[in-house]
Amino acid sequence: MRFARTSGPDPPSIHLALAGAMIICNGPASNASLEKDLYRRSLISGQSARLLCCYAYCSSGQGDSTGDVTVGGQEIIAENGSILAQSEPFGDGFAVADVDVESLWGARRGMSSFHVEPTPQYADYHETMFDMTIPDHPLMRPVSKQPFIPADEKMRADCCSLAVTMQAHGLAARVGAQNADHLVIDTTNSSVTNTALAVLAVARFYDLERPAVPDMYVAISQDAQNGQSANVKLIEQLADALGLPLATLASARAEQQNAAQSSPEHPVLDIQELIGDTSWLIVNPSDMTQLALGLTQFPFDLGRQYGINSQIAHTFVPVIPRQYAQECADGNLQTLLGAICDPDNELHIPEHDTVSMSESAELGPAVVEDFYLDGFLRAQYRPAKTFALARQAFAGEYGEHELPGWMKAFYERFFGSQFLRHSLPDGPRIGSAGLDLRDGFMMPTYAQSTLWMNEVDALLNAATK
């Protein structure tokens, strides 16, 4: 904990943070003026984000006012860009908040450009040690059960639009680098919502690159077409509404049998030909959660694929088409996207599963598994802390006996499939979390899960008593 001022081109808070301070306190004799409270909030919020710290601000109280200068005793507590608590100027309340110091340490460790001195003494600061007893109390800070989805409606809409735009521009860069003449969306092992998002992103790419766009197809496997499921029909209708041609993925033998049915408007594509022809780029719609838990595979050459949804969490995937439907003027497209986003969007273990899982472990709801994924990837929490936060986030919805079992399945599948992710295909970085070295995730290919699983087993034992 350190004390500093906020303003100026080189405030002491910068040097304090680089000396290791995690909680910076500022108690200035700052006067009140119109709009100054808004200025303080933005300044303190931004400084806490810049320094990856908690910034606690308290200006002089009302008793220090004079006849010509008034002070309002404004209090603000900000953590890594978010204002946790604040009291209004000239008010009677206090700003009180829980500070997540562990997540701040994790954020600093994950930023290679944030270099902290080994000790405060190295930075010419004096360190005073003290003891402080903090009584147990209920957690005051809100815990979102959907950490990958912005809670603010305006921010959520902006993020959805930006995500599709980023996907389109990333795809454009990949097509240009590969000099691909043909592009195909492989829907074989993808859910209907993941496929819909990939189709929307490719359609946006088509709008960007219309003068020099390659041949593009939404490819549906022959087995899926023969099944004539409702989801296949929805994807076919969506592709048609967006002006993207359909194609059938088939083996060489099946292609010969269906040669008479093939046409320029709806070709039959040979799977082996796609693998061997470098002019083709295959778009894989698998999302980040499926990749994290080993629930999906890249059946073709990794170097020829583009993971267009690989940086988007499973719970956020349906939010984007739903937002797209709200903003588009096409009534038919609105109806289609609404029907696509309505079905069950839970996670499913594939029929030919390659990840070992204990008999007692069971895959949980997608919203819970994404909560665990956020705690592990972004916040870098221990299992016990993630469980404590999950208890609060899902209180009244899921029991304390269910959450540890689902957590065990998460860690087993994550570590059990880590070797599959050591060479993931390209994909646009959308959020602040990722699964490979390009995103700063440096877990070894054959990482050992012993420490995590021991803590999860202790939680399971405590839950069964």
Q: Which tokens sit at 382?
A: 């221990």
Whether the predicted pLDDT of 277 surpasses 80:
no
Per-residue confidence (pLDDT) for residue 304, from 0 to 100:
80
What does the pLDDT read at residue 6?
57
| Most confident among 29-43, 255-269, 392-406 (mean pLDDT) | 392-406
Note the pLDDT tens digit of each residue in 44-61. Answer: 999 999 999 999 998 887
Contact 69, 101 (CB under 8 A): no
Vertex 196: Cα angle to 193 and 198 (nearest 5) = 115
**Among 3.40.50.620, 3.40.50.300, 3.90.550.10, 3.40.800.20, what is the CATH number of 153-464?**
3.40.50.620
**pLDDT confidence of residue 342:** 67
Q: Does residue 243 have a pLDDT over 70?
A: yes
The tokens describing 254, both together, are 């099946």
Give the pLDDT score at 343: 61
Q: Are 346 and 366 in contact (CB under 8 A)?
A: yes
Q: What is the pLDDT of residues 251-268, one digit of tens each?
A: 644 444 454 455 556 778
In this predicted structure, what is the pLDDT of residue 118?
86
pLDDT per position as a tens digit, 361-377: 688 999 999 999 999 98
Q: Ranked by mean pLDDT, which of 75-89, 102-116, 219-233, 258-272 comes out on top? A: 75-89
pTM of the shown model = 0.86
Q: Does the structure show a pLDDT above 50 at 1? A: no
Residues of the chain with CATH 3.40.50.620: 153-464
Question: Tell me: the pLDDT tens digits for 327-342?
Answer: 888 888 898 898 888 6
Q: pLDDT of 306-331, one tens digit each?
A: 999 999 999 999 999 999 999 888 88
Q: Report how far Cα 447 is from the mean position of its chain's Cα atoms.
A: 22
**In CATH, which of 3.60.110.10, 3.40.50.2000, 3.40.50.2300, 2.40.50.140 is domain 2-123?**
3.60.110.10
Q: For every residue of 22-69, which 3-state class applies, written as one string?
A: CEEEECCCCCCCCCHHHHHHHHHHHHHHHHCCEEEEECCCHHHCCCCC
Q: Which has more pLDDT, 111 or 302?
A: 111
pLDDT at 216: 75
pLDDT at 341: 84
Cα(412)–Cα(249) distance, integer angstroms: 34
What's the whole-number average pLDDT of the chain? 84
165 contact partners, CB below 8 Å, separation of at least 6: 204
Farthest CA pair distance, the chain:
93
The helix/strand/coil state of 165 is: helix
For residue 288, give the nearest of 167, 161, 171, 373 by alpha carbon. 373
User: Does the pLDDT value for residue 344 go beyond 90?
Assistant: no
CA distances from 99 to 15, 86, 134, 308, 392 (A): 21, 14, 13, 35, 16
Parts of the chain belonging to CATH 3.60.110.10:
2-123
Type of residue at 138: P
Give 211's Cβ-side CA count (13 Å radius).
0
CA distance 108 to 117: 12
